[in-house]
Amino acid sequence: MRQNWRGCTNGHGRNDTHDDEICQTRFPHPNPPPAGEGQTNRYASFTLMKDTRIIIFAKAPQPGFAKTRLIPALGAERAAKLARQMLFNTLREALDADIGPVELCVTPEINQAAWQGIHLPAGIEIFAQGEGDLGARMARASERALENAESILLIGTDCVELSSALLREAAQALHEHDATIHCAADGGYALLGLQRFSPFLFSDMPWSTDAVANTTIARIGQLGWSVHVGQMLHDVDEPQDLKYLPDQWRLHVEA
């Protein structure tokens, strides 16, 4: 049965893709598990979930290349340090979700100098984003992954609210729906989950505008697919978005 859907109501903004002082600091986990939760039965309610591949799109966290819209507030070096911290936080949450393979889809390619000295965790697969706009890159990764995976979650590294629990819930939603989406307050989306592929969701999209999420939801409806719309989330792209970082992060970022 197809679920009725509503578009996201959002503010104004835009959507992007998306050892040093910050990375040496041991930040408290921004999404800590409930006290007393055991590791062995932590995900017991999700044991019957289908395999879901998490695909993380990321730029190399280098000064002047990543988080450039935060440079006026933080400077190029500090913005890049924050980008690195957000990258590692996203990888940790994705691995902790334990719902299937975790893929890092990078630009530039991983063998380029921009990635030297960035020690990525074990247990992830790495692919190059390749050429084209954001839509072309996401479409290419989605089509490739869905040839071998039951379902996929497409995310970036801009949203620290993407916890392992939320990722598991998104994967669970794909048991009953063809797609799931978490809109961002700036009008983009922080997560798009799919059970099937269509280039219609990625081609000729108004990227970097506040119409991305609602246009995507409308196109899912035009395809005749069912969609679950999850809670609104917040990307950290602009100086005014720094308030969405965990308090302990801001102490170091804004110092």
Q: How confident is the model at residue 7 (pLDDT cuts 50, 70, 90)?
A: low
Kindly state the helix (H) or strand (E) to which residue 213 belongs, with its residue range.
Answer: helix 212-222
In the predicted structure, residue 102 carries a pLDDT above the cut 70: yes
Top-tier CATH class for 49-253: alpha beta
The whole-chain average pLDDT of the chain stands at: 85
Does the pLDDT at position 19 exceed 70? no
Residues 210-230: pLDDT tens digits? 999 999 999 999 999 999 999
- 22-36, 114-128, 150-164, 189-203: the lowest-pLDDT one: 22-36
**All structural domains of the chain with their residue ranges:** 49-253
- Average pLDDT score over residue span 32-36: 46
Residue 33 has pLDDT above 50, yes or no: no
At residue 127, does pLDDT exceed 80?
Answer: yes
How many residues can be counted in the chain?
255
Nearest C-alpha neighbor of 189 from the set 151, 161, 147, 221: 161
pLDDT band at 149 (very low <50, low <70, confident <90, very high): confident
The confidence band for 255, taking pLDDT boundaries of 50, 70 and 90, is low
Residues 148, 132: Cα–Cα separation, whole Å = 23
230: its two tokens: 């999850």
What pLDDT does 159 receive? 98
pLDDT: is 2 or 198 the higher one?
198
Q: How far apart are CA 156 and CA 87, in angstroms?
A: 9
Question: CA dist 34 to 17, 128, 208, Å?
Answer: 31, 36, 36
Q: Which of 42-51, 130-139, 147-156 has the lowest mean pLDDT?
A: 42-51
